[in-house]
Structure 1
Amino acid sequence: MILHDYLPSGNGYKIRLLLNLLAQPFQLKHYDIVAGESHTPEFLALNANGKIPVLQLDDGRCLAESNAVLFYLAQGSQYWPTDPWQQAQVLKWMSFEQYSHEPNIASVRFWLGHAGLNETRRAQLADKKRQGYAALDVMEKHLSQHRYLVGERLSIADIALYAYTHVAEEGAFSLASYPAIQAWCKGIFQLDNYVSIDDESALLA
C-alpha cells in the first residue's frame, strides 16, 4: 500500500503511527501541500477533495480522511474494541478530535510553522487559542482519571488525538499545566514500534 502524505501533517502521522504499531509495511509518497502539490490533476485523481492523507491499497482503491483510514486499518486489531459501547466511545473521541481539537490546535501549528500568518489568520488567532485550550482541558480532565481515552487500553482514539496534541507546543500551546496529557503522551512515545512525526524511513516497503 502507498500512503500519500505531507510529512509534517498530524493527520498523516496518525496513519503512519498506526501502520508502524501494526508492523504493516507501506510506501510513503510525499507532497508539499504548501506548494499546491495536492491539487495537481494526478493527486485529484486519488482524492477529488485535494487533501492529504490518502491511503492507496494494493488493488488501487484510495481511502481519504485520516480517521476513516484509522478505522479501516484498525479492524480486527487491538486498537479497535469489540464492545459496541466502547466502539461508540472511540468514535466520540475521534469526532471531538475533528471538530474541537484539530481545527484549533492543528490550524495554529500549521499557520505558525508552515503557512504563515496573514491578516485573516491573525484575526482568528486568539479565538483559535481559546478553543484549543478548551479542548486540552477536556482531555486533561478525562486523562487525569484514565490511562487512555477508552477502555483503559490504547485505541485509535488515542492515536487520533495524540498526533496533534504531542506537537501542540509548535503552535504555541503550552502543555506545562496538563500533567495527565503529558503522562499520556509519554506512554504512547514509549510504545514498541513507535515512530516520530518526522520519520519517513520506518517500515517503508
Structure 2
Amino acid sequence: MGEQPLRRRWPRRALRIGLAVLVLAVVLTGASVTWAYTASAGHRYDVADAPAAPVAIVLGAEVGTPFLRGRLDVTVQLVATGKVRSVLVSGNAAGSSGDETTTMTSYLVSRGVSPTKIVVDPYGLDTYDTCARAVRVFAVRRALVVTQPYHLPRTVALCRSLGMDADGVNATCDCGFLILLKNQVREWLASVLALKDAIWHRAPAVVSPPM
C-alpha cells in the first residue's frame, strides 16, 4: 500500500524539479541578456556611424564562413576611411575552425590593409579571452570591436567590463535565417557565462605566448 502512493509522487516531484530548473534557466538567461544589452547600450554602431578609435579588434570565426568574411570586410572599411589606425586580429590559430588569425591577416592584406597596421593575437580562444588579452597583453584602452549584431552586445559588454573604452561595429553576414537564428539562441545562452566572466574576470586561457 505504501509503495503505490510513493510511485505516484515521484513523477510529480520530478516535474516540479524540472519546472524549477527551467524557470531558473530562463531567469538567468534573461538577466544575462539584459545585462549585455544594457552595458553595451549607446556603444553599438553601423560602420558608417562608427566613431574613430586607435585600433579595431576583429573577432575570429570559422574559416571560410560568411561570418568571418563580413567582419573582415567591415574592418577594411574602417581602415580605408581612417576611423582606425591599426587592427588587432584575434582568434584561435590552432582550433578545429582553421587557422583563423592567419586567414584573417591574409584577407586584410589582400584588400589593401598594410601588414604594418596588423597585430595578431592567435590566442583569442573565445570572446572573453579576446577582450581580456587585448587589455592585459596588448594594452588596448580604446577600440572598436567588429562582429555580427547578434554577437555585438556581449562582446562590447565584456570588453567594457574589463576597463576598455570599447564601441562595437556591426559586421555584415550573407547568412540564411535559420543559421542566424541558431547563432542568436546560442548567443543568449553564452551570455550567462559572459556575465559570470564580467563579474569575476577570470584569467584568459593563455595569458602570454608559451616560450
Q: TM-score range by the shorter chain?
A: under 0.3
Find the structure with the greater CA-based Rg.
Answer: 2
Q: TM-score, normalised by structure 1?
A: 0.26
Query: Comparing both structures, which one devotes a greater share of its residues to strand?
Result: 2
Q: TM-score, normalised by structure 2?
A: 0.26
The structure with higher relative contact order (CA 8 Å, sep 6+) is 1
